[in-house]
Amino acid sequence: MLRQLWVAVGAALCVVVAATDHVHLRNQAATCTSVSVVGDATYCIDTATICGGTVGACPKQGDVASADCLPTLKSYFRGDGSTAECIAPADAECKAIPSGVLGCVFPSTISTTSPPHSSSLPPVPSTTNVDPTTIPHPTDEAVKVCSEDWGQCGGQSRTQRFSNCCHNATFACKAFNVYYSQCLPTVSTS
C-alpha cells in the first residue's frame, strides 16, 4: 500500500514538473519585446528595457525582423529564392531621432552584406551605404507646424510625423515613449 502511494505521488510530481516546464517555455517566448528601427523593420529583442523614453536596447547585427519586413528596406534579404526576411545589417543605436524622442537607428554608414550570425545565408553581392536621416517621409511638410496645447508634439507614427515644438510658449513637448510626446504646461495649471 505504501509503495502504491509513493508511485502515485511520483507520477503526480512528474505531471507537475512537465506542466511547469511547458508554462516556462511559453513564458520564455513571451519575454521578447518588439522594437521598431527608424526607416527599417520591427525586431524582437530579449529585454524589457528598450530604447524609447530612456536609453535602452536596440536590435543587434544579425537579428531577424519579426514584423514590417518590406522589399524596399536595406535589411531585406531574399535567400534561396523562396524565403525572404529582414536581417539587421549592423547594431542599431539608441539616439535622438528627428521627432525629438529616442529611437533605434542603424549607423549612418552600414554595409548590406550578409551578417556574420546568419551562416546559412549567402552574402549579398553588393555593398551600399545608407543614411537613415535622409529617408523621405510622406508628411514632412506637416512637421513644420507646432502643436497646440495638450496635443501630440512628437513620436513615431506609420502615417504621420509630428513636430517636437508647442505653439504656446508656456507649454513644452514632453516625451513619454518613442511613439508619443505631448504638449504639457511648464507650470502647474491648478
Model pLDDT for residues 25-66, shown as the tens digit of each residue: 333 345 788 888 988 999 988 877 888 767 788 999 999 999
Residue bearing cell 527599417: 40
- High-pLDDT (> 90) share of the chain, %: 7
Residue spans of alpha helices (H) in 30-136: none
- Residues 65-90 have pLDDT tens digits of 998 888 888 888 877 667 788 899 99
Distances (CA, A) of 142 to 131, 136, 145, 161, 173: 22, 13, 6, 7, 16
Residue bearing cell 513615431: 156
Average pLDDT of span 10-18: 40
- Residues 87-104 have pLDDT tens digits of 999 999 988 888 888 889
- Of 185, 188, 150, 182, the C-alpha closest to 171 is 185
**Domain range list for the chain:** 33-135, 136-190
